[in-house]
Structure 1
Amino acid sequence: MSIAQALRDAAARLQETSDTPRLDAELLLAHALGLDRNDLLLRQRELAVPSGYRALIERRIAGEPVAYIIGMRDFWTISLHVTPDVLIPRPDTETLIEAAIEHFKDRPPARILDLGTGSGALLLAALDQWPEATGLGVDISTAALAVARGNAERFGLDSRASFCLGDWGQGVTGPFDLVLINPPYIARDAALAGDVLHEPQGALYAGAQGLDDYRRIAPMLPRLLTADGMAAIEIGYDQRETVSALLSDQGLSVACRSDLAGHDRCLVATLPGTC
């Protein structure tokens, strides 16, 4: 079977499982061949379909996320190693980096904190963006921290990135110019489908309203921020007002940024008198 035919057949089989069946088919075939997707598409006439490809497609049909099957996910300017111990980084979360770039357009942040670092996506993307900065990633999961440390080493950022086991900002000594936070924010009884069913539940759910972790994080932020620093906090599409109120109650100024789909996605929190 040719590469072109294998991709057509796989995409047809994946239509009921995936919103991006052709892309999934290409990524899985590139992984089976030990190539990146661009190489696969450029060289497909000279390549043969590997024997392991069918098994990868079966795993995807069973619902396993592509990122976990191939062990990689692109985020911002980096390609991260991911495992089922961490959330899969998503383009929506890049809104936090965009907000930080806007805030620090006239000066770079020197010290960065990533609470709930997971794979290290936000921290390492920020350190790649600002090569003079240093940062700390905190997570409650030792398995997630192992993934983050491995990613830092892969990118040669381990000299500027440190990681520690912790419960949000408890015991963390500030202040930081930039605090990045992507906490659990899904309500306990919310009906989920797709890739999230395979992701770590502790990184997804946050009580009856999805607000439990915001309530714990908000009081920590004033002491963690420099006078002209900012916190970029991911929210669910319908949580702008409730989470903004939690932050405002701590004396923080709050603004909101939307993701590419136009959904409220990132709250920017600053100390009064900053912008």
Structure 2
Amino acid sequence: MPRRKKNEEEKIASEKNSKEGMKKKKSSSSKKSEKYVDPDKVLDEYLDEVVNALGISYLNLSREDLKEVLREPFVMAVGEVKTKPKVSTIINRLRAMGDRLMEIISYKLLRLYDIEKLSEDQLEFIVTYGKGGLIPIMDKLYKECLKRNKKDLIDLLRVTWSMLANVLRSPIKCPRCEFDSVMPDLTCRICGYTLSMKELKNIIHVIDILQDFLRMDKDGFNEILKSGFFYYTSEGPIPPSRFRPSQGQIYFEVILNKEEKSKLESISRSILPGS
């Protein structure tokens, strides 16, 4: 009897597990059978209206390229839905993205085309809306705008660099291209021009800044005068013993010549008699 009872219990448990397995299978298959709107199909259907509404038809892109540059923001605007949204709804959602939408389109254009093959309108669009994504290729964009004599676009590039270059922005402005982009080796990151030490000193007004430094820090000034050089950063001159470079910091080693040291000694005596 005990064995028979055990067999019956096992049979009941097996049937129960089988029923639960069937329920799970049905639930899983019903989820898979749910159909969501395909954004790519909707984009293909609404493309002309979206392009006209966003005012980007002047970029003269092929239909396939238009779909490529719009696909990412369009998918976000459609969302995961089972009913196709109206074109007006999608356009309003795209417009709500503001400049972020144009920034995405700019990135896509840069992936699709070489800079030198961009049309005038495409180049202007990218320079206007590209923002931080332009920083790594700023030198190429500058040279292309220079080649096409697009001074207004070069001005826009300078503004973008000044606002968004962050750690790449230099305390020294290049005398040729006028970007804040001179690196510690005295070469401009944007146009490739190499400054002389004399040019660097003229840009920072070496005598004037050290004269001001003397009024704030006599000991530091005397160290600079004695050692014959100092480090220049965005914070100004720093005596050699106090300089602790941080990672990624842009700094310049400025070496004083005999004439400059003599002039600074004279200034020191006039400002601090008896020193």
TM-score, normalization by structure 2: 0.27
Structure number with the higher strand fraction is 1
TM-score, normalization by structure 1: 0.27
Structure number with the higher helix fraction is 2
Which structure has more RCO (C-alpha within 8 Å, separation ≥ 6)?
A: 1
Larger Rg belongs to: 2
